[in-house]
Structure formats: structure tokens, C-alpha cells
Structure 1
């Protein structure tokens, strides 16, 4: 039995049901959630202070009680706060719990590398100030944004209210620039079900944040992501060539 622990934004209504749906019929893998408060996404101090390490680490410590094989922060805050923040969080989680750790943003970087993407297109519900920071963060890692779409919504709960037609139209528009990959970057922006369909339609890898966080968690747990069916080309990748920031750290769990 493999167990995965997910730290979840409190106002997120997409992540849990869609993760359970992806794992339906997958034997031997369970996923467990802990929340901390996230109510808006912006660059003011109140919004940024939501992502203080203390509540995230408290959530990780509560997850450690169920002896997970890996713990992931299922949020994209590293996109606008910087990867060093996420790497510090992962190091602290591993120090306190003994579990390998990742985040949605680190998983995105790992996915780009695994897919051999040199450039990408970005689709989010975020404000332009957040969007520009994400582009800068990914640029620092060597990935060029060739097209982007965003909705100027400070969220966070409201992100889940956009339907598949809205998200699909955004993806199709950025696909016109023929990027190496398309990122639907937000774990409360429900691209999980439509991403594989759009990938087949467009012939471009379409990567949803909720799905890719599960992908990277499976990789870090030493599992073959292909056990999750119908989630596109990324789940056929083993992660052997990806950025595995805490891979090799022994888990405290007993599988």
C-alpha cells in the first residue's frame, strides 16, 4: 500500500474530488488531505502571508501521522513567490517528517523537463501581477512563455466556478502559438478532465496542475505513473529525467 499526503488550500474545491476520481480503480494507492487557510491570490502582504511556512508545516506534520510515502503542497504559490520558497518548504517537510516532498510548482518544472519542453503556454485564472511573476519564475528555470491567457480573478474559491468551455477556449487560443507544452496552472482551476482531451485534439501536451502534482507524487513514491489511465502523455513518463528535489530521501512510512 502506498499513501500520498496532500496539503490543500482551504478554499479549493477541485483538488480532492478530481484526485479521487483519477485514482478510482487504482489498487494500492490512497491519498490523504490536510488544509490550511488560503482565501485569495494576489501580491499584497495579506495574500502573500497566507503562505507562511508555519501553517504548511503544521499541515505536513498532521499528514505524517498516517505515514505517507510522499507529501505534496498542492498549490502553485511557488510560481509567484519563487522556487526557493518551495524548495525550503520541501526540505523542512522532509526534515520534520522523513517523507520526500514536492509542490505543484516544482512538479511543473519537473514535467517540462520530462517532456523536453523548451517553451510553453500558460493558462490561469490569476491577476496579471501574479501571471507576470509566474512567467519570470519559469523563465529563470530556462522555460520561455510564448503565449498566455489569464482571467484577472483574485480568487481563490471563485477559480473553481469556471467551466470547461472557458478553460478549453483559453487553451485553444494559446495553442495557436505552437508551444512545446501548455500549462493549466492552478489546482482550483478545473482542467483535469479536459486536459487529456485537448492534448489529443491539439497534438500538444496539456498539463493540469492537479494531475501533474499527482504524477510527481507517484514518481517520488517510486510508483509508475502509468497506473493512472487516461491522463495524457505525462503519465507515461517515469520521471527518471525530471527534477526530483527530494528524491532519494527515505520515507518514514511502511508501505
Structure 2
């Protein structure tokens, strides 16, 4: 017997408790027969005033992730989608792999992290040189840069928006992001990446792929796409960018 609604796959989606973007984003990407089951990582919404504050906040997310994993596993999902990003980049490629291994060992099922999904997406679209934007502080952008460079991509430019609260990330407007994209684009990059799962950029990324003629990778799109493909779900979805419609 199979789940009546999730007759193809049950996906456990893990996100910080302050995150208001992952859940609606990933619901939009859900094909028929696949259901999402959100589990929240308890975290406070502190004010970040420095690199040190930001690292402390993301460390708290990492420390509480396993509790959220244990909770969602009670509904017996087939696979986990990790809807948080900063900590998945820490420590470069080896650090990312260690983090994922901890999650999978606890869950007993496979998982997709934001960092590996971004790397897989860039590989799929054939990107070599990239720029990226995040809501992070510079210390975390340095970790993203390290991961991307260790994964074989040249990073030309990056922007850290330095959002002071986790909930402020979801308040960054499309107008602000349009200005950032203009700064990140150039003839020396063949893809633009957005990280930070509470930063809403799925629709904007899809729009700019059309206007710029190059891949614009939103991390929530990349993460859900990677999870679907890892589960053998190959549906092509229109209107949400090239990853879901072509790969």
C-alpha cells in the first residue's frame, strides 16, 4: 500500500523556524503524487550586528537540525530536502559532505543539501564562472566562495546583503535584488547564483534567465530540483526556471 496523496514520494522538508519562504516555494514545485512534510528547526530571531553574530546564529541552526530530522521521520518520508543553506557550505566540500552524512545517518534515508544542489545545478547548465548574492554576512559568503571554488567554479563577484534578522531576509524586495543582479552580471560570468533559503528569488531568477540569456540559479529551485531527480521524479515543470523545465 502507498500513501494516498504521496503515492510517488513523501519528502521531508527541513527549514529553520524563522523561515517563511521555503514552504510556499517548494509547494509550488511539487508534482502530482509527491507531498512535502515540513519540519522546523527551532531557532531564535536574533539581531546580527557582525560576522561573529551571524556565525553564532547559523551554528544554532546546525545544532538543532537533528531534532527536526527526528521529528519529520515519524511520518516516514522517503527522502529529505534541507531547506537551509549557510551551514551546508561551511568547511568547503568536505564540510558539506560531513554535514550531509550526519543528517542521513540520523534519518536513515537520503537527503539533498543546498550546497550540493547548487553545484549540481551549475554543472547541469554548463556554468564555469559565476557570481552570487546572499543575505549573509561576509564571513559566510567566504564559505560559499570556498565551496564553489573547491567544486570547480570560478567566482567573479559576490554580494552579502547582511540582513540583521532571519525574518528580515524574507523582506528583501525584488527591486533590491534587481539592483544586485545588475551588479553581479557581466561578460565574465555565465551564471548567477542566489543562496539563502529565506530570500525569495524563484520568480525573479526565472525572469532574468529570459532577459539575460544565462542561467540564474535560485537555491530553493536548485534544492527541490535536485531532490526530485535524486528520487527518480523527472517531471518537467514550466514557469519556474530552466532547471525544472529542461533538466
TM-score range, shorter chain: 0.7 to 0.9
Selected match of 1:6 from 1, 7, 13: 13
Cα RMSD (Å): 2.0
1:70–1:101 Cα contact (<8 Å) kept? yes
**More contact order relative to length (CA 8 Å, sep ≥ 6):** 1
2:92–2:150 Cα contact (<8 Å) kept? no
Aligned residue pairs total 234
2:193–2:216 Cα contact (<8 Å) kept? yes
User: 1:88-143 CA deviation, whole Å, 9 max, x = no partner?
Assistant: 23223333333111211111111111222111110112212222221122112211
> What secondary structure, in the 3-state scheme, does the structure 1 residue paired with 2:163 have?
coil
Q: Are positions 1:121 and 2:139 aligned together? A: no
Pair 86,225 (structure 1): closer, same or farther in 2 beyond 3 Å? farther
Selected match of 1:15 from 17, 22, 34: 22
2:170–2:199 Cα contact (<8 Å) kept? yes
Q: Are positions 1:29 and 2:34 aligned together? A: yes
Report the Cα distance in structure 2 between the residues aligned to 1:27 and 1:37, rounded to whole angstroms: 30
Report the Cα distance in structure 1 between the residues aligned to 2:130 and 2:242, rounded to whole angstroms: 15
**Unaligned ranges ≥5, structure 2:** 1-6
1:82 corresponds in structure 2 to 92
**Unaligned ranges ≥5, structure 1:** 239-255
Pair 154,84 (structure 1): closer, same or farther in 2 beyond 3 Å? farther
> What secondary structure, in the 3-state scheme, does the structure 1 residue paired with 2:75 have?
coil
Q: Which moved more, 1:182-191 or 1:153-162?
A: 153-162
User: 1:207-247 CA deviation, whole Å, 9 max, x = no partner?
Assistant: 11111111011011111151x32122212454xxxxxxxxx
Report the Cα distance in structure 2 between the residues aligned to 1:97 and 1:150, rounded to whole angstroms: 32
1:249 corresponds in structure 2 to none
